[in-house]
A and B are shown apart, each in its own frame.
Chain A
């Protein structure tokens, strides 16, 4: 009897509180007015100073929705459509020797507190950061800027310390850039490095509404005067998204559940299995970059097999090529992404304009590329790889896999290297290696073993790719063990503390053929002795006079010059010949959109904006979404 009473009471309590969980997902804000985006957990939730080092979770909408700068590049866009003048009214104007850059600003832009944005804000931003080492863009301004002037309220003139045809990229958003500071706010504080800037004044279309002091969410609200912003003045009607919620939705499993419960509209990244679950069980109210398999959005980054050129025997290009020809890329694709990988033979990600600028025009060159194995020459390129992958995934995905070869190339990549153990054997023998049973021995007679470093759970697809490649090399007689670096991965890569690793050493603008985004760091001037930390990129410490010549030539041409793509091709050809690292694929991100409340998301067919929550280009997606209610 007592037990029955207790059970009834428990049920009554449950009935009274539990429906609350399903209703009013955000207190006081109609769900149909809010776009919910996956955000990070903020440690210091009270902090909104975007310019302080490590200050605040800038990926919680702060930089994406309230900050602004001169220009944006859409990493998925092509041609002129990829470039947007934001605060600037036109492209950068350089003098003849690239020692001066003039920027003309748009008129009629206001901060959210009603103060007009002018060139004084820009001058203040640059001068303040130079005066405060440690601020986000202090170092690049210090290195580059001799002086900055504002001849009138809509013009800024930068005088540079040395010729630099890429200076404007500091103010050009792909993901992030030098955001302009509100002079009228910061000039009133003692130390801009320790000022929390709470609440922040906004220069873009949204402003802070509320935030969780425990760091799990931030809500941004459309400004009443949204037309007085660089993004708003280009719109013909008011954005329908009134509130943007950046929400830390937890681990990848929880993200999948939350999207299927319609509590998370935009996901940044989940595992292939989570993506396939959503496609299978919630396909009717979900959209993806591709309408079906492989679903994923390819980031303009290039996961690759990185060799440490400062460690023997990886300085030898024959060894590197031999290791490339031991890989069966179909297994890597299936094992890492279950076939949903966008493969890359060239050393630039197969995304955005790289397809038309590099991948399509270089197919003939790739097909005719000959490799001297020491035993004769081979043509290692296989342009049919996308069809082979399509055949492997067709049993699972059926008619959603098209037959059209061009479409397949855009889904699975344009081609890769044929697995060729005989050629690999010849190359290793050419490099002085010998084989004892099934064990390759180095020229000094010791066994050729490899430690292949992967980050681990943080990037499961790449960890899986590393495991498969390690198996394939081991089967060919090179004992390869996987070394999981975890949180020390970045530091070990930067310090050259690895033999071979799976990571990306190339990131590009995506929406522009210029490769300076990563290539500048590849100059041999910046290579450090083993053990010392390198600047970002060139993690392989590849040193080559021909590479230096390409980089130096690229510095002297205009960003939009046709020569940029020609120099890009020179680099790509050199990278194929030398195989300094083995490009594998674009970094595919499974980032589905829930269409229960919002429609009009970007896609491969209509790549009008970046899709990732942390890309600042996302603002262009947010103002374009339409209510589904």
Chain B
């Protein structure tokens, strides 16, 4: 118990240190960004109307005050940490005065739904295929599917998404290519709405599945390929244990442990959104929100999304470290 307490203490310290350093770095980078939110707002307000230079100067001063951007960077940094501790990232600068937190909370369910589902599918499918391909190396069907997955692996998300968009939105237009649900449909737990959610999520989800599949497949296949030559597997084969049992109990089970770590880390990354895919399919998640924030110089928003993402990954790693001894008997805290 003493050992666990020490371990927990050390991990907690690391956990907070990682968050502190990560968030501080994010603050520094976003605040050094050359895009000035006040100038972005001024440009927006003057582009299509009032351009009297005296008015513009006045407008600039008023917005500077309104957005609370006065003070040194150190003062802003300290104020930022004060807000983070309260779970508040202040008002969005591009959607003033809407709180950043409410923008993120509006986008988060879409991203969590889309990414979690596609991650679970690509993880399960990639690991299953990878394990089978690593174990039954002479099977033609598995060789072919392996080749297909490998060919797809280096293709960027944008290209895969665009191909799906053209295939199912244009050549065979059976799936919606934009948005999260049908227009003017009342959100709720109704069959119509759920069906609409599924239809609108299909193409972005498929894109993410195709993008993720390759890496899970490759790593699982490598792991399995190594394990099948281990002594305990050779011994089991010599002992006449059935190949199905060897595959499921001796090989896949052992290979799955590092993959579970990868899954947990990826789940932590869900909070950062799938920027390119969401942008391509106009999916209203955190990724699209992040792009809008970057383009509009809204560093309050960018910092909000980044901070939540850093915390989520840190929490995922922390949880893995705590539960790993439970699922891998080779790891002992002592």
Contacts and interface: CB of A to CB of B under 8 A. Distances in A.
Interface stretch (A245-253, A573-581, A599-607): A245-253
Contacts of B65: 133-134
A445 interface: no
A25 B183 contact: yes
A139 B40 contact: no
Contacts of A143: 52, 54-55, 58
A143 B52 CA distance: 9
Interface string B164-197: 0110011001111111111111110000100110
B282 interface: yes
Contacts of B61: 133
Interface string A1-40: 0000000000000100111111011111100000000000
Interface stretch (A50-58, A93-101, A230-238, A403-411): A50-58
Given A170-B50, A247-B183, A487-B297, A43 B95 contact: yes
A52 B97 contact: yes
A257 B43 contact: no
A309 interface: no
Nearest to A58: B44
Contacts of A535: 46, 51, 53, 56-57
Nearest to A141: B55
A81 interface: no
Contacts of A27: 182-186, 192
A136 interface: yes
A537 interface: yes
A448 interface: no
A477 interface: no
Contact of B179 (A46, A47, A216): A216
B98 A44 contact: yes
A250 B45 contact: no
A250 B45 CA distance: 24
Contacts of A260: 170
Interface string A574-601: 0000000000000000000000000000
Contacts of A55: 95-97
Interface stretch (B6-14, B31-39, B124-132, B207-215): B31-39
Given A44-B92, A47-B98, A143-B58, A17 B183 contact: no
Given A44-B98, A139-B58, A251-B280, A214 B183 contact: no
B97 A249 contact: no
Contacts of B94: 43, 54
A21 B199 contact: yes
A43 B298 CA distance: 11
B198 to A, nearest CB: 7
Nearest to A212: B183
Contacts of A213: 106, 187
A629 interface: no
Nearest to A497: B34
Contacts of B39: 490-491, 494, 533
Nearest to B64: A134
Nearest to A517: B51
A140 B66 CA distance: 17
Contacts of B288: 41
Contacts of A492: 34
Contacts of B47: 536
Interface stretch (A174-182, A328-336, A376-384, A434-442): A174-182
B40 A248 contact: no
A459 interface: no
Kindly name the residue among B39, B65, B92, B110 whose own CB sees the greatest number of chain A CB atoms within 10 A: B39
A224 to B, nearest CB: 19
B169 A261 contact: yes
Contact of B52 (A257, A261, A520): A520
A561 B47 CA distance: 26
B178 A216 contact: yes
A537 B173 CA distance: 45
A489 to B, nearest CB: 10
A250 B175 contact: no
Nearest to B59: A139
A518 interface: yes
Nearest to A214: B284
A27 B24 CA distance: 46
A170 B282 CA distance: 35
A215 interface: yes
B63 interface: yes
A513 B56 CA distance: 24
B62 interface: yes
Contacts of B187: 213
Interface string A488-501: 10111010000000
B255 interface: no
Contacts of A341: none
Given A248-B282, A260-B170, A487 B294 contact: yes
A194 B99 CA distance: 11
A47 B92 CA distance: 13
B289 A43 contact: yes
Kindly name the residue among A47, A248, A487 whose own CB sees the greatest number of chain B CB atoms within 10 A: A487
A209 to B, nearest CB: 8
Contacts of B27: none
Contact of A491 (B35, B95, B166): B35
Given A18-B174, A18-B175, A214-B110, A536 B46 contact: yes
Interface in B237-268: none
A491 B42 CA distance: 10
Given A28-B184, A52-B96, A487-B294, 9 more contacts: A41-B288, A134-B65, A139-B58, A175-B49, A212-B179, A217-B183, A247-B183, A254-B178, A526-B53
16 contacts: A18-B199, A41-B292, A53-B62, A55-B97, A143-B54, A175-B49, A214-B106, A216-B179, A217-B179, A257-B166, A257-B169, A261-B170, A494-B43, A520-B52, A526-B53, A536-B56
Going nearest first, the 10 A-B pairs with the smallest beta carbon separation are: A535-B53, A214-B284, A133-B62, A175-B48, A250-B282, A139-B58, A44-B95, A44-B98, A140-B55, A139-B55
